[in-house]
Structures are given as C-alpha cells and as structure tokens.
Amino acid sequence: MRGVFLDINSVGPEDLDLDPLTTSLDDWSFHEQTSPGQVLQAIQDANIVITNKVPVDRDILQAANSLALICVAATGTNNIDLVAAEERNITVCNARAYATTSVVEHVFSMILALTRRHHDYRVAVGTGKWQSAASFCLLDYPVRELAGQTLGIIGYGELGRAVARMGDAFGMKILVAQRPGTRSKPETGRTPLSQVLAQSNIISLHCPLTGSTANLIDRNEFAQMREDALLINTARGGIVNESALSQALLAGRIAGAAVDVLSEEPPRHGNPLLDDSIPNLIVTPHIAWASVHARQMLINELAANIRAFLDGRPRNIVTASCH
C-alpha cells in the first residue's frame, strides 16, 4: 500500500514524532505542500492520501484509480467532495478530539483578551498613559467579568461541548443553538438561533462549514445581536460574512470579535478583517488547534485511522449524509 501526505508542513512536523504514521505503511511520499494543479500527479498511484487543507475534488477522485482511503488531517472535511468519494467507494476519515483542549484554551484566551481589554491597556501603557496617571490604576476601558454572562454556542459537537463546560466553570449561563438548517421544533436543551443571537453576551462558533452554515452569521444576524456582544470564530471562516462583520465592528453594532479562521487561508488576496482600523478585533492565523500536544495527537489519530482501515474496521468515517 502506498500513502501520500499532500501538505505535511501544515502540521509542523519538525517537533513531532512521525513514527506512528511512517510505520503504518511501507511506502510513503511526503509533500511539504501541493498546489491544486499538482494533486493528481502526486496521488496518481496512491492507495491512501492524507490532506489537511489541499482540496480533493470530483475530477481528481475520478482520475485516482488506486485511491481507497482519504484521511483528512483535521475535523472539517469541506475540502473533500464527499459525494464523489461515496460514488467511487472511497472511504473518507477525519481526525476527532485531538485538539479539544488547545481550541478551548484559545477560545477563552480570546474571550478574556476582549473582556479584559488587553490590547487597549497594552497600548495605553505603551503610550505613557499609566506613567502619567493621577491614580495607581487606569480605568479608561471598562472590564467585564465572565460570571453571569450568557455564552451562546453554535455547533455542539466535541468542541462546542468542551467550550460549554469551560463557560460553566466561569459561572456563565450557556445557550446551545438549534442545529443550523433545522426547521423542526428545537431539540431538548437547544434554543432557536434567533434567541441565542439576541440573548448572548458572547457567541462562539463550532459548527462545520456546509451548505447550511455558509454565511450563517450575516448582516441580518448581526442586527439581532446585543450591542455588547462578542463573536468568537475558531470554526471556519466561511461561516461568517467577513464584510458584514467588519461593518458591524466599525459601526459599533457589536462590541468586539476574535477570529482564528478566514475564508481564504493564507489570505493572499486580502480580507476585510485585515483592516487595522477595525476596533476590538483579534485575528490569529488558524492556530487555535496547534499546540505541540494537539499536533502529535493528530499524527497518532491519522495513524490509527489508517491501521483501522487496513484491518477492515474503518473509524471516524465521514459521508455526505453527515452534513
């Protein structure tokens, strides 16, 4: 069996133990990165392909005659044509629960940076405001406590549940949104999205990017939010209309936002959220998941997926019907 990793640089292999992966197959080809035009040549004779963010579309799947398994080095699988994979009897597996702690810590680091006004006070100290203050402390920027605040969670899988547990530990009230795209009566314990938007002080996104979640948070949704609302997105950039978010922040429609994901990564062609004039916005370069421990767990998960497939017991299977 021959395996190909299309974008191994995306997991930062330099400080990881790759033995669990390299020993799962006898024949491996590791590519630092693969452009869309290089994918077919790279996987021509491959039986197993690993991709983090490199797209594998219908045309590639139809031409990859030896391909039996695609392992996505992430939880989200929006870079794979799942319908075409099913038609070709190609199994698709993702990685799960490898970065839960890392993502949750990043979510709350961004929430706290916004509620504690870290950037504003860092700038104030840097410009000498504290040094020239009449009192021992600066109170220029009001600080919010999390206890008693309402945390709205959109997407209640592994990550959403873990964020809810952490929010509960902070003494927050938790609202879990009805599944996007669901028109039926809300499930037990779920709240209609419109109510989550209207009632939450902080909204955290943890749903996959699908047809029903693309631009889920758009101008209409920002209009429903509280003026003191904070939006946190560590899911996928396409879930939020980035122009609408930029306008909402510039107009003071919401109080702040922090995003770890953008619709194009890297943002080579610019992005509305990279405008330095936007207030109360934190942008991090898709690193919420990327602790050393989480990246090692990812390698271990990929190896486990491959070994399970070879043993005839595939795990973490993703199909088009899942979305």
Sequence-separated (6 or more) residues with CB below 8 Å from residue 115: 143, 144, 145, 146, 230
Q: Across-strand partners of 8?
A: none
**DSSP type of residue 177:** B
End-to-end CA distance of the chain: 30
Residue with tokens 């795209």: 181
Residue with tokens 């899988």: 157
Q: CA-to-CA distance for 232 and 230, rounded, in angstroms?
A: 7
Active site residues: 236, 265, 286
**DSSP type of residue 260:** S
* H helices present in 43-175, as ranges: 58-63, 82-87, 100-115, 118-126, 158-169
Q: Say how many C-beta atoms besides its own lie within 10 A of residue 230's C-beta.
A: 25
